[in-house]
């Protein structure tokens, strides 16, 4: 074996996801596996999703050491550090990549990584594996897109790796390397439907200040519609899923591409329910008609805020009115809408919170998810607040989600904002019912709204110390 790939996410250790139970295969490392196998490397995949850290560590301790490659993101940092240390103790050469390590090269090298891969990993690993396996450290400096610690102990960054220009030439992800039937079984057990993910493009050209572009940059490289439909048809024949998840950053970004994709699906008489993510400014009546024709049942829209001032500060490039219009278009075609919302971005106060509540009540999406803004290292948002960022925990035991920002409103403040939003939306739903006047839940919701609004006002001056 030339390389063992893993990703350090353990479903058993994630209480929030165990409530949701909508796992998807790790497409990133499956793309790496298929690429490297096409170049005649012997690659194995340890899919940690349904395993435990103890099982992975036992494998590392009982297998002839070679090279271990670990995908890392901000949510798996703690596990990845533990895996790297166990691998080093067992004699493995270690490589780490993914969206987070580029911003923490020194930390990951100190935690046990021999090499950090920065950006897309396929070509970099293809060049890197023979050098790492041969133990020739001087050869590392000739490989673009990596960081490593030199013999003098200093961290060395090589020039950036050029992105793959034509992703149609890349083999499909090696789904056969993971227990995909287990994923489908989990979905069907908890939701009655089995789902499989795929991507049609890499990268996002937009400039949202809090979003990381560490792997794919701000490019948008799209596969040909025929290639995507080929893969989709193979997935349907091989796994017989009940639905699909297009995991693109913005599925509807290229309208001409979507027209061609729909035509190819029509030509092959293919139709399957799916959900995807869009931007409000990339939805219009024609595109929503196409999505409905394709059997899109849910669109997730990054709304973030109901305040135009906050959206402009984020450099979202959309207006509140565009979001409201997009939701209306989707509802008209009976496509469910999911909305992402973010509290606590710079400049948000009571007025902006009220504007967001009014906005969500106006849209009335089928689902909305909220988070409190957190600065990911390497993003413009992080640079903006860097002098006020505090990590209350040790790096290896935390994530960028743990960051506190001095001078920002307290966590209790945003908890009250969230409670107020949810109570207001629920009351708005009840108000549309013929039993509104006699429903006992109405008084309870009004009381909760009053309490939440009073709570917001009373703790408005509380800030992160």
Structure-token pair, residue 155: 């961290």
Q: Parallel, antiparallel, or unpaired for β 201-202 and 221-222?
A: antiparallel
pLDDT for 455 equals 85
Residue ranges of E strands in 150-295 = 155-157, 195-198, 201-202, 221-222, 243-246, 274-278
Furthest-apart CA pair in the chain: how many Å? 78
Burial of 321 (0-12, 13-18, 19+ CB in 10 A): exposed
pLDDT of 462 reads 75
Q: How far apart are CA 427 and CA 449, in angstroms?
A: 9
For residue 391, which of 418, 382, 100 has the smallest C-alpha distance? 382
Of 328, 350, 349, 346, give the one whose Cα is nearest residue 337: 328
Q: Kindly write down the DSSP assignment for every residue of 414-429, as one continuous string.
A: HHHHHHHHHHHHHHHH
Residue with tokens 């200093």: 154
What span, in angstroms and rounded, lies between the C-alpha atoms of 211 and 379?
A: 6
The pLDDT of residue 465 is 56
From the candidate CATH numbers 3.40.50.280, 3.50.50.60, 3.90.1200.10, 3.40.50.2000, the one assigned to the domain spanning 3-157: 3.40.50.280
pLDDT for 383: 96
Nearest of 44, 41, 33, 65 to residue 129 by alpha carbon: 41
User: Among positive and negative, which fits the CA dihedral 344, 350, 354, 357?
Assistant: positive
Residues in CB range of 121: below 8 A, 6 or more apart: 28, 32, 69, 97
| Sign of the torsion formed by the C-alpha atoms of 180, 86, 71 and 172 | negative
pLDDT at 139: 87
H or E element that contains 237: helix 225-239
Q: Which residues contact 408 (CB under 8 A, 6 or more apart)?
A: 344, 388, 463, 464
**Chain position carrying tokens 């012997």:** 42
Q: Are the beta carbons of 412 and 418 closer than 8 angstroms?
A: no
Query: What is the pTM for the complete model shown?
Result: 0.95
**Sheet of strand 296-304, all strands in order from the earlier edge strand to the far edge:** 195-198, 243-246, 274-278, 296-304, 336-343, 367-372
Alpha-helical regions (H) of 76-221: 77-89, 105-111, 122-134, 180-191
DSSP 8-state symbol, 45: E
Q: Which residues pair with 278 in a beta bridge?
A: 301
Contact 53, 70 (CB under 8 A): no
Ramachandran sector of residue 98 (left: φ over 0; alpha: ψ -120 to 50; beta: rest): left
Note the pLDDT of residue 379.
Answer: 96
The residue with tokens 């990993």 is 121
**Model pLDDT, residue 417:** 94
**Which pLDDT does position 324 carry in this prediction?**
98
- 161 DSSP 8-state letter: P
Cα 151-156-160 angle, rounded to 5 deg: 145
What is the reported pLDDT for 262? 98
DSSP state for residue 11 in the 8-state scheme = G
**Which CATH code, of 3.20.20.70, 3.40.50.300, 3.40.190.150, 3.20.20.30, is assigned to 193-365?**
3.20.20.70
Per-residue pLDDT of the chain (465 residues; tens, 9 = 90+): 999 999 999 999 999 889 999 999 999 999 999 999 999 999 999 999 999 999 999 999 999 999 999 999 999 999 999 999 999 999 999 999 999 999 999 999 999 999 999 999 999 999 999 999 887 667 899 999 999 999 888 999 999 999 999 999 999 999 999 999 999 999 999 999 999 999 999 999 999 999 999 999 888 999 999 999 999 999 999 999 999 999 999 999 999 999 999 999 999 999 999 999 999 999 999 999 999 999 999 999 999 999 999 999 999 999 999 999 999 999 999 999 999 999 999 989 999 999 999 999 999 999 999 999 999 999 999 999 999 999 888 999 999 999 999 989 988 999 999 999 999 999 999 888 777 777 888 888 898 899 888 888 888 777 765
Structure tokens of 134? 């041969």
Integer-rounded Cα Rg, in Å, for the chain is 24
CA 150/CA 141 separation, integer angstroms:
9
- Which of 52, 53, 77, 110 lies closest to 393 in space, CA to CA? 77
d(CA 76, CA 372): 19
| Annotated domain spans of the chain | 3-157, 193-365
Helices (H), 268-391: 285-293, 308-314, 320-332, 350-363, 380-385
162: Cβ contacts below 8 Å, ≥ 6 apart: 144
Q: 3-157 with 193-365: one CATH topology?
A: no
409 contacts 345 by C-beta, under 8 angstroms = no
């Amino acid at each position: 074996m030339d390389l063992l790939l893993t990703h350090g996410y353990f479903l058993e250790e994630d209480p929030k996801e165990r409530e949701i139970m909508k796992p998807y295969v790790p497409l990133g490392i499956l793309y790496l596996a298929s690429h490297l196998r096409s170049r005649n490397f012997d690659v194995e995949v340890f899919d940690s999703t349904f395993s435990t850290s103890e099982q992975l560590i036992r494998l590392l301790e009982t297998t002839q050491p070679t090279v271990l490659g670990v995908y890392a993101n901000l949510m798996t940092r703690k596990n990845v550090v533990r895996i790297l240390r166990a691998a080093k103790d067992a004699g493995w050469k270690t490589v780490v990549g993914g969206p987070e390590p580029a911003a923490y090269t020194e930390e990951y090298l100190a935690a046990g990584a021999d090499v950090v891969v920065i950006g897309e990993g396929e070509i970099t690993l293809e060049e890197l594996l023979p050098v790492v396996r041969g133990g020739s450290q001087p050869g590392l400096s000739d490989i673009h897109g990596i960081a490593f610690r030199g013999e003098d102990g200093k961290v060395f960054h090589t020039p950036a790796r050029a992105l793959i220009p034509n992703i149609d030439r890349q083999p499909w992800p090696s789904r056969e390397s993971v227990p995909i039937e287990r994923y489908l079984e989990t979905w069907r057990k908890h939701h009655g439907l089995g789902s499989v993910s795929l991507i049609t493009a890499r990268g996002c050209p937009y400039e949202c200040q809090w979003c990381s572009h560490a792997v794919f940059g701000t490019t948008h490289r799209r596969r040909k519609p025929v290639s995507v439909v080929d893969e989709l048809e193979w997935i349907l024949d091989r796994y017989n899923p009940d639905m699909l998840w297009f995991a693109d950053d913005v599925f509807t970004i290229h309208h001409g591409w979507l027209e061609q994709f729909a035509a190819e699906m029509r030509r092959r008489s293919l139709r399957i329910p799916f959900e995807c993510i869009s931007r409000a400014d990339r939805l219009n009546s024609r595109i929503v008609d196409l999505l409905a024709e394709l059997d899109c049942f849910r669109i997730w829209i990054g709304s973030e805020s109901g305040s135009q001032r906050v959206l402009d500060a984020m450099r979202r490039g959309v207006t509140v009115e565009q979001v409201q219009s997009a939701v209306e278009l989707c509802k008209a075609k009976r496509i469910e809408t999911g909305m992402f919302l973010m509290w606590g971005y710079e400049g948000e106060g009571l007025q902006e919170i009220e504007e967001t509540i009014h906005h969500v009540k106006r849209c009335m999406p089928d689902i909305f998810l909220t988070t409190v803004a957190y600065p990911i290292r390497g993003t413009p948002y992080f640079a903006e607040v860097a002098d006020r960022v505090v990590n209350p925990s040790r790096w290896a035991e935390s994530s960028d989600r743990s960051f506190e920002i001095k001078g920002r409103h307290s966590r209790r403040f945003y908890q009250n904002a969230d409670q107020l939003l949810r109570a207001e939306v629920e009351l708005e739903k009840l108000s549309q019912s013929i039993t509104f006047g006699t429903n006992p839940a109405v008084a309870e919701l009004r009381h909760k709204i009053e309490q939440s609004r009073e709570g917001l006002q009373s703790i408005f001056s509380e800030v992160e110390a």
